[in-house]
Amino acid sequence: MAARGVSKLGKVSVYDSVEPPTCISCGKPVNPSERAVSFYCPNCGVMLLWRCNKCRTQMITYKCPNCGFEGP
Ligand SMILES: [Zn+2]
Ligand SMILES: [Zn+2]
């Protein structure tokens, strides 16, 4: 049951290649199978930040690319 995608619709957009979210702390792609968390920046509320399980458990700090807010 892997019937996803709409290849017959001609318009190919950038969104076709879905990139995995990257961890805001370590910059690595977040594996969908791991228990990553996503949250909006507590300061600006604009950026959706992803954090991998490792950085979350190790309390690695992150920095919002939009407002520069740094948090644990
Ligand atoms: Zn990480
Ligand atoms: Zn922010």
How do residues 9-23 score in pLDDT, each as one tens digit? Answer: 555 554 556 677 899
Question: What pLDDT does residue 12 have?
Answer: 53
pTM for the full predicted model: 0.70
**Residue 68 alpha carbon to ligand 2 centre in Å:** 6
Q: Residue 8's pLDDT is what?
A: 59
Contact criterion met (CB below 8 Å) for 53 and 62 = no
Q: State the distance from the centre of ligand 1 to the C-alpha of 54, rounded, in angstroms.
A: 6
For ligand 2, the distance from its centroid to the CA atom of residue 49, given in whole angstroms, is 9
Question: How much is the average pLDDT of 24-38?
Answer: 90
Side-chain half-sphere exposure of 6, counting CA atoms within 13 A: 6
Cα–Cα distances in Å, from 68 out to 19, 46, 61? 23, 12, 12
- For the cut 70, the answer to whether the pLDDT of residue 41 exceeds it is yes
Q: How far apart (Å, rounded) are the C-alpha atoms in residues 61 and 45?
A: 17
Please tell me the least confidently modeled range out of 17-21, 47-51, 65-69: 17-21
